Structure 1
């Protein structure tokens, strides 16, 4: 094979010269970091140069050979080609600028193409690709269109394939949906035709480079100091916690922040579909589910992992999110000596969260009486935390409730704190404050027994929570 698609007076030949294609440039636009407006503003001189070099390379090489060459060898030879092209452009760049330009162009070829600038932009939290021609990002909780484009659906599918193959997964017509993660832990979901009607869809929830801890949550207004102190006490007192909220409401972030207060001497088992929990302790065993292979075999579900975790001598079990029958096994673990365990669930209210857990128990196939299921829930769970992403983009803890037992056939709950929304200003920012219901939770007695101090004044309805 030849590297060039047709004879060209271009850079030197070598093994890479076997990458010959004959195709069109795949990426039409590369946006500079931080660019998020679909308008006619001119790209910077640097970005124009990068686009020019990238498109020249794509005209010259055969993309199908890229994945067959050792990455180090390909990068070295492509680097030489970029430098020769750059010399022909006669641009006044210093050595550092040239090196950065080479790296950026190679990112296009070996990385995730047009998405690379967005992945490197620290202000972007979510990247949402709706087919090849529409890419949106989330910044500060708000969605914005971008100028990023893929050449066509085939180009987008190639990038998706590169992502999922890196973690041993696949996506094709026989398995058109996939959950995966990037090397930095960012969560990825892709769905392709025939399930996606208009073309491939890709969602990337970026993994925060800077870990968001409880202090940061207080700083950004997601939770007041008084409630944060209580959450720390709940973790240290080994209360079982269910964190509830909608998509993107900050459930995993809250779970990570709370888990930082688990005693480092305890053995923690984490169970996830796509590993993204950030445990700070030393004694952590991380488990991840596995999808079925191309023959439909080899699948390992969360429920199987929860069952196996019970044989691993855990002190606490943390399930990233319960979605099915594993909820029953999780409750069983909480009821049999693994206190202080935590998990999350998708639900709009604390009461809805318990109803969802009840439905999941029904997915186990056991014909359990309703009262028996609810008794399991009431006995296993102690605290339900409700989170919400509000219209201004901010994630807030909106309710903290304690489960107190059963009243007849109903699981009884009492709310300790809630966020009271007061107004919305002209810019869309929501204003409000946290209030306490005046109820002193029963688990405070456990605090006293364990030597955990929480001021009683935070339960006073006249106390201003800060």
Structure 2
């Protein structure tokens, strides 16, 4: 029989997984009088040891001592969920090769179970607590009430028994009952109950889908539990309305069915866990869902108002990516979010979170009509457009609201949303057909699409961005949608590749008045900020949002800190930082009329340090002039003007020297034109330098021949002989130069491995 249908009797049993606080049941009638005496002696010793531990103030671990899992199971992992009361053991069943999620909790004796039922009954009848006003004090308030009941009824006085009762009362009344340990385990993503008598299944971050030892054997008990969950969500579920989609107290999404009306197996529920601390782009970078350049792409796109969709299948990380990248939205801008079930969690102060509302009295009889008082996403989106938001975030589009969303994009509103599709083709097909039916002419209002998938890499299930597609427009002849794949994922190497062309970058260049070099430099700067946050462990969404906000206001201060931290780590790391640091001298390059990117990294570093030093000196002198007396300022200003002119002349001289040494191609082009050589623009720096030497030798030989012709001006016969000889030499030299040029071009295209860094 499969793992799902296996009886609980075949699982590791209470006899194998009972903690030390409750002894395994023993049939003493089958024991000899010596074995009975030994058993009673061991019990007395155990009670004595526990009493001594309690007097010393030690709470004995109720669960994990001396647990035997048996021969049929192999332990894969063990970790606490709520020590010392609740632990989890991941077991491997050797019989059917399945993995098993075993929750280990204290075992209540029959008497303790009676006490628990009595305490719950008293609390339900006598306890008066306002859940809203005492949200933070519930546990302490409940613990005090339970202690009062225990003292009044003179129930168990032993400390470990009281701790156990406190745990079960808190678990059942404040927590989630049987599945409380599952809901407190940060490794659990989904919890699925498929019906009464069926083990609950969970999706574990490391071990994927696992069956558990938790089960509701009684159908009525499961129905009562589901009704109680619905009430705690502030919703109603009944036989008349047996299907419910709601949000739990901690923000997790839950879908419930009641009875056998819509599920033939009986009542069911599925919970999609909600993280208390939402994911940040740094988490996505660490998980390798995106590369640092892709996240920097999102950062720039969101800052400059590019509309995007996060597209993928179920559990591909669409909403997680949208929520994480929303931290890039400018802090003070007005944001309106619209969701059916609250999932987004933003730290922005100017944020209006909107949620849909069900109507009263169920669905109306008319097909497609809404119930009285219902507010759907279409209504919320129409209202949001009247609130003048800078950004609109829609949790997921699947119906009529999609048309309004694309109309909002077309009218200039920046919008973000998620959508179920696995490719650009399926996205377009779903958008153009029922029930959405968006005209194709509206789709180009969308700037970019991130396609995400859940796949396997190295035997592990991971989430990856399959590609980032940009919408260019519509072909006027074929009416097909024109797209550009800016990024793609290479599944063989598990690397992300930038294709080299981005229309989103071009739109940002128009908005921010940047050129291509500057937009790539800014992208590299933001990549460095992301890598720095990863290195510093900045994963809290509030801390990361502060870094982003500070970068918007004081980018130089942030980059100064980033370079100071990333440059610590050796020569190789410093060279990498210099490669990303080209943008720091962007303003200076424009001022001096020099493109430093033509130079090797070492030369770039030299000139950047020199320019930075000169700027620091100028700032210091300007402060001194401002603080000087009125009569001394003209003298200081004249002296500083002369010093700046001298520094500029020296810089220009050294740049010309560097160009002569490191930029031979610039010198070679006019010489090649003079000699009649073919284009030399495809040569590498190394090969251009070598060809330049040969070309200079030829120019020197021609100059020498011209001097000889001048000297022979009085002897026409010898002058004619010298001219003929020089013409033959030039023909031979040009043939040689043309051959050398062809060889240099070939070597530039296919360099040897030790020349590839030139």
Q: TM-score range by the shorter chain?
A: 0.7 to 0.9
Q: Deviations over 1:319-369 (max 9, x none)?
A: 000111100001111111212x1000111113212322223xx436xxx7x
**Partner of residue 107, structure 1:** 171
Flag the structure with higher helix content: 2
2:327 paired with 1:222: no
Equivalent-residue separation in structure 2 for 1:225 and 1:58 (angstroms) = 54
Equivalent-residue separation in structure 1 for 2:487 and 2:90 (angstroms) = 38
2:261 paired with 1:194: yes
**Partner of residue 124, structure 1:** 188
- Given candidates 320, 326, 333, the residue that maps to 2:401 is 326
State the Cα distance separating 1:203 from its structure 2 match.
1.1
Contact 1:37 1:145 in 2 (8 A): no
1:202–1:64 CA distance, 2 compared to 1 (3 A): farther
**Partner of residue 13, structure 1:** none
1:419–1:127 CA distance, 2 compared to 1 (3 A): same
2:206 paired with 1:144: no
Equivalent-residue separation in structure 1 for 2:399 and 2:225 (angstroms) = 31
Equivalent-residue separation in structure 2 for 1:432 and 1:86 (angstroms) = 64
Higher RCO, Cα 8 Å, sep 6+: 1
Unaligned runs of 5+ in 1: 1-30, 423-430, 460-465
**Partner of residue 749, structure 2:** none
TM-score by length of 1: 0.78
State the Cα distance separating 1:43 from its structure 2 match.
7.5
Q: How many residues align?
A: 405
Flag the structure with higher strand content: 1
- Given candidates 39, 52, 56, the residue that maps to 2:114 is 56
- Given candidates 416, 419, 433, the residue that maps to 1:345 is 419
5 Å-filtered alignment, 1:296-311, equals: 296=363, 297-311=372-386
Contact 1:241 1:384 in 2 (8 A): yes
State the Cα distance separating 1:308 from its structure 2 match.
1.1
1:220–1:83 CA distance, 2 compared to 1 (3 A): farther
2:474 paired with 1:409: no
1:398–1:458 CA distance, 2 compared to 1 (3 A): farther
2:232 paired with 1:166: yes
- Given candidates 248, 273, 277, the residue that maps to 1:206 is 273
**Partner of residue 282, structure 1:** 349
**Partner of residue 520, structure 2:** 455
- Given candidates 34, 37, 42, the residue that maps to 2:88 is 34
2:498 paired with 1:436: yes
Equivalent-residue separation in structure 2 for 1:346 and 1:457 (angstroms) = 32
Greater Cα offset, 192-201 or 50-59:
50-59
Unaligned runs of 5+ in 2: 1-84, 94-99, 131-140, 364-371, 525-530, 532-758
State the Cα distance separating 1:137 from its structure 2 match.
1.2
- Given candidates 399, 421, 424, the residue that maps to 2:467 is 399
5 Å-filtered alignment, 1:383-398, equals: 383-391=448-456, 392-398=460-466
**Partner of residue 11, structure 1:** none
Contact 1:36 1:146 in 2 (8 A): no
**Partner of residue 418, structure 1:** 488
Q: Secondary structure at the match of 2:412?
A: coil
State the Cα distance separating 1:109 from its structure 2 match.
3.5
Q: Which has the larger radius of gyration?
A: 2
